[in-house]
């Protein structure tokens, strides 16, 4: 076998490894900056406005305010029922409602100086009292008249008549549980047995008597398409809130 001649060749010396610095990441895309304090406050204000509008809209759809108002009225009427029974004076709840389809109303409690009966013709009484209230508002406060000096039999009889009439008059009644209040956004109507139709504007009364009885009544509150009614029992003065407007009793 023929062999090729072997020729030794020196190897080139190895170059020492060169250390390279580690690579650093480039600038690349910048991360988004956070919101400023002003932007956060604007977002919170918009969210609060939208939330309040949603709550108000839901309240109008469900009639939440109308039902809450009747619940407060029921508690006030119950307190007035107890007041009449304990003091021996006739008391009444007075409602003032705007004319037409306007919403809102005010209510307050009044008590007489003694036990009195309610008028049989309530419609006429409400018309007269509403007109008198309107006239007084236009006329303003009147100045008192000056009496003649001396006292006679006619003066004594006149003073006694004034005392009896004053005892039969109703004056505003205040207590921690019974305070005047104004309600907005709710349309009210009040019916009692002495009325042919529910009162929807002007004045309306619900009476409570010292014998431990109350005038049967239906107080209806409307808020949008929602209707709730507060039914007052004549024997116990108990109040119940029902959905809708019950039919007016025939008797």
CB burial string 107-135: b at 16+ within 10 A, e below? bbbbbbbeebebeeebeebbeebbeeeee
pLDDT attached to residue 113:
85
pLDDT attached to residue 15:
64
pLDDT attached to residue 204:
94
Query: Is residue 69 a contact partner of residue 221, using CB atoms and an 8 Å limit?
Result: yes
Global confidence as pTM = 0.64
What fold characterizes domain 61-137+168-243? Answer: minor pseudopilin epsh fold (3.55.40)
Mean pLDDT of 182-211: 93
pLDDT attached to residue 60:
47
Q: How confident is the model at residue 55 (pLDDT cuts 50, 70, 90)?
A: low
Taking all residues of the chain, what is their mean pLDDT, rounded to a whole number? 79
Task: List Cα–Cα distances, 177 to 40, 58, 103, 238, 246, in angstroms.
Answer: 44, 30, 25, 16, 28
> Taking Cα atoms as reference points, which of 201, 206, 187, 169 lies closest to residue 245?
187
The structural domains of the chain, with segments of one domain joined by +, span 61-137+168-243
pLDDT attached to residue 29:
59
Structure tokens at 177: 């549980």
């Amino acid at each position: 076998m023929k062999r090729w001649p072997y020729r030794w060749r020196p190897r080139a010396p190895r170059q020492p490894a060169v250390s390279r610095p580690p690579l650093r990441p480039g600038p690349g895309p910048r991360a988004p900056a956070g919101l400023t304090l002003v932007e956060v406050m604007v977002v919170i204000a918009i969210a609060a406005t939208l939330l309040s509008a949603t709550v108000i809209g839901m309240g109008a759809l469900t009639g939440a305010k109308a039902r809450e108002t009747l619940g407060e009225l029921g508690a006030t009427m119950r307190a007035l029922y107890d007041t009449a029974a304990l003091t021996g004076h006739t008391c009444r709840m007075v409602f003032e409602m705007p004319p037409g389809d306007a919403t809102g109303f005010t209510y307050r409690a009044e008590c007489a100086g003694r036990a009195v009966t309610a008028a049989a013709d309530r419609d006429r009484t409400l018309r007269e009292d509403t007109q008198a209230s309107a006239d007084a508002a236009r006329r303003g406060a009147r100045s008192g008249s000056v009496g003649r000096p001396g006292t006679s039999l006619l003066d004594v009889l006149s003073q006694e008549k004034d005392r009896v009439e004053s005892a039969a008059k109703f004056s505003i009644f205040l207590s921690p549980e019974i305070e005047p209040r104004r309600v907005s956004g709710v349309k009210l109507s009040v019916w009692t047995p002495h009325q042919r139709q529910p009162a929807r504007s002007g004045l309306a009364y619900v009476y409570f008597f010292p014998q431990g009885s109350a005038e049967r009544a239906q107080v209806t509150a409307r808020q949008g398409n929602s209707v709730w009614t507060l039914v007052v029992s004549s024997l116990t003065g108990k109040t119940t809130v029902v959905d809708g407007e019950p039919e007016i009793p025939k008797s």
